[in-house]
Structure 1
Amino acid sequence: MDSLVSTEWLAEELGAPDLRVVDATFFLPTDNRDPKAEYVAAHIPGAVFFDIAEIADLDNPLPHMLPDETKFASRMQTLGIGDGNRIVVYDNSPLHTAARAWWMLKAFGAHLVAVLDGGFQKWMAEGRPFEIGRDLHRHGHFTARLDTNDVADKAQLLAVLDARDHEIVDARPAARFAGEGLEPRPGLASGHMPGARSLPQSELFNPDHTYKSLDALRAEFDRAGVDLAKPMITTCGSGVTAASVLFAARLLGKRDVRVYDGSWSEWGADPATPKATGAA
């Protein structure tokens, strides 16, 4: 199964016994939208809801940080996701949050995981079927083993800034990167990490929410000044849209790329971390 699948592909595969469909819609606190309620109101038939805010380390003061292996395995099993399942993740968010769940599943050891190109927006625009309510599945058996090579932390970011041997790519809107726009979470400084490149996640998508072509994605990285030959760490406000930049880089065949899970929620709250403003 490819990492990116079409609505046509999913429509043909829907109902296969080994297929699990996952709604990973998530919104910013300022969006005033409830992803759980929207899932209940309408979702792709058979889909379960992957709660990015809850499938997290709730003891960590930072938002939706990765949980431990035990919790992740338990939540996947409750959703009916098991070892060997083919998993297709979609969202209905302008933040394109399916990539965050894709990245989490891959980081914890799932092999056959794909993002639905165009998400629920495209599915509904094509007049495809949907369901109301909640879908439950018989518990699966999911073995979670976190690959720490997929994750970066603050200490690693500080080391990278000193060595200047990585590309740091920031998925937030350009105004927030430049320090000209307010952060959606209170108490955070404005700006970006020194040396980071600005590639807003919205630039990766066509108007119908599908990912741009490989050539167009490569052009976006070039336009942002990103050297794809260097190892990459992606960042954003809280580690969600950073996953879309990672996913786009993976589509281009890049493997040495990690998400900084704490992202600006951690970096911007720490008065000791270096910060810059203005364009990259």
Structure 2
Amino acid sequence: MNTMRKALLSVIVFSSFGLQAMTFDQLSKTLDEAKQVIDCRSSNFYNGWPEAGSKLGGHYPNAVNFDAQWLDRIDASALNQLLVEKQLNADKPTYLYCDQAASQKMVTALADQGFTSVSVIEEPLSNYSGSLTALPKFQQLVGPEWLKQVIDGQQPLYAPKTDYKLVEVAWGPPTKYLVSHIPTALYLNTNNIETKPLWNRVSNDKLTALLQDLGIRYDTTVILYGRNNMAAARAASIMMYAGVEDVRLLNGGWTAWVGAGLTSEPMLQTAEKVADFGRDIPANPELIIDMAEAKAILDDSPKTNSLVSIRTWDEYLGKISGYNYIKPKGRIPGAKWGHGGSDANSLEDFRNPDETMKSADEIEHFWHQWEIDRNQKVSFYCGTGWRASETFFYAYVMGWKDISVYDGGWYEWSGIKTNPTLVGPMS
């Protein structure tokens, strides 16, 4: 460490941990445009889950979600890019809060990136007299520690009210699942909820039989996760469409469970079949729409409706199709780009370095640039429904109301020659 950096850090650490440390209430009295606040705790606490000993969770208003543990997963170049994405300015006074070890790690990392005024707020967030900000449905996006308590038979906050089923979801045979999975988890092959040739949802009769075989009724709490959480989210959207009232997603999926250092187990788990789902399927048909309804969205005003493409930018422009089994390239005319990832199996624009959901502020920021708004009727689509389903679930926990997945997506739309398509940049 060179002398200049040592001096810089000593100033930062002294101002952070000295006797004149700022409180949250004092922070709230400073001008908003002159400061930036970083919540360097777990994104689950940021989203709304209370920390141990607290009754309320959430984050300081307008704080940026940046878990200090992400620093162990990224290099300096990726850190710089992440700071840009989160619109953090090295020249602004920066205040952060998390535990002491994490805050020291964050202070050092920010100093390396040229931040010259960084202060740590030492007092508990629970001391803040104002209202915290949380996802309206944060309870549906759960953390590994909460899940561990449920598996162990404890009653954490927002525990399942009755029975629950934990399900790992992936495409194909349970190869990885059989080697190691979260204790008590059942296995769901996505081939059992999607059907060829378009990989749309299965018939209502088949869906009813599948849920009964998994021991799931409409009032069962279902907790889903995947090695890639897109698969779990696909199952979540279909189960919500069917009528399961309490569907949860493990934030960060299998990566979060392993990252928390929690144990796993091998071999197949089986469920006791239930005789009746308890209601007719689909109980919520509006959550998954078909082509006629997608066209109706396009026919209405783009100010009140949005059909949103959750695909890579190159897919949206028609440079690639994104799939080896989908030949046509391009986009649906009138569809807005809702972002995606680096390819059809990725969703980096919506995920933090640890695979957890990015903050609602970040997601809504790039949606607003495309005039996608929570007060509209919004339907998400991708190639065959996986990326769209994960995005749909995030919009759901963000409190968006009139949302759906366009099941057929680009595969269905582009397969009908009479449907219009566009290729190339926006006019």
Which one of 227, 242, 254 corresponds to residue 108 of structure 1?
Answer: 242
Which one of 334, 345, 356 corresponds to residue 210 of structure 1?
Answer: 356
Q: Which ranges of structure 1 fall in alignment gaps of 5 or more residues?
A: 27-33
Contact 1:171–1:241 (8 Å) recurs in 2: yes
Quickly say closer, same or farther: Cα 1:107–1:278, change in 2 above 3 A.
same
Q: How does 1:40-119 map to 2 (within 5 A)?
A: 40-56=178-194, 58=195, 61-63=197-199, 65-93=200-228, 96-119=230-253
SS at match of 1:87: strand
CA distance in structure 1 between the partners assigned to 2:259 and 2:352 by the alignment? 14
Q: How far off its partner does 1:220 sit?
A: 3.2
2:289 — aligned with what?
152
CA distance in structure 2 between the partners assigned to 1:97 and 1:236 by the alignment? 13
CA distance in structure 2 between the partners assigned to 1:204 and 1:224 by the alignment? 16
**Amino acid in the other structure paired with 2:394:** A
2:258 — aligned with what?
124
Contact 1:22–1:90 (8 Å) recurs in 2: yes
Are residues 1:7 and 2:149 paired?
no
Contact 1:203–1:220 (8 Å) recurs in 2: no
Aligned residues: 269
2:268 — aligned with what?
134
Q: How far off its partner does 1:81 sit?
A: 2.0
Quickly say closer, same or farther: Cα 1:127–1:196, change in 2 above 3 A.
same
Q: How far off its partner does 1:194 sit?
A: 1.1
CA distance in structure 1 between the partners assigned to 2:265 and 2:411 by the alignment? 35
SS at match of 1:61: coil
CA distance in structure 1 between the partners assigned to 2:376 and 2:386 by the alignment? 22
1:100-135 Cα offsets, whole Å, 9 max, x none, are: 111111110101110000100111122211111210
**Amino acid in the other structure paired with 1:13:** V
RMSD: 2.0
Q: Which has the larger radius of gyration?
A: 2
Contact 1:154–1:267 (8 Å) recurs in 2: yes
Quickly say closer, same or farther: Cα 1:196–1:83, change in 2 above 3 A.
closer
1:25-63 Cα offsets, whole Å, 9 max, x none, are: 24xxxxxxx56212222211111112212223x4x5211
> Aligned residues: percent identity?
27
CA distance in structure 1 between the partners assigned to 2:165 and 2:379 by the alignment? 29
TM-score normalized with structure 2 length: 0.59
Contact 2:238–2:288 (8 Å) recurs in 1: no
Q: How far off its partner does 1:148 sit?
A: 1.7
Contact 2:379–2:405 (8 Å) recurs in 1: yes
Contact 2:184–2:269 (8 Å) recurs in 1: yes
1:184-215 Cα offsets, whole Å, 9 max, x none, are: 14353111111212221431110101101222
1:182 — aligned with what?
321
Q: How does 1:17-36 map to 2 (within 5 A)?
A: 18-26=163-171, 34=172, 36=174
**Amino acid in the other structure paired with 2:169:** A
CA distance in structure 2 between the partners assigned to 1:191 and 1:21 by the alignment? 38
2:51 — aligned with what?
none
Contact 1:239–1:261 (8 Å) recurs in 2: yes
Q: How does 1:201-240 map to 2 (within 5 A)?
A: 201-240=347-386
SS at match of 2:235: helix
CA distance in structure 1 between the partners assigned to 2:327 and 2:144 by the alignment? 39
CA distance in structure 2 between the partners assigned to 1:245 and 1:10 by the alignment? 22
TM-score normalized with structure 1 length: 0.88
Contact 1:217–1:248 (8 Å) recurs in 2: no
SS at match of 1:234: strand
CA distance in structure 2 between the partners assigned to 1:122 and 1:225 by the alignment? 32
Q: How far off its partner does 1:15 sit?
A: 4.5
CA distance in structure 2 between the partners assigned to 1:138 and 1:264 by the alignment? 38
- Give the ranges of 4+ consecutive aligned residues of structure 1 lying more than 6 Å apart after TM superposition: none
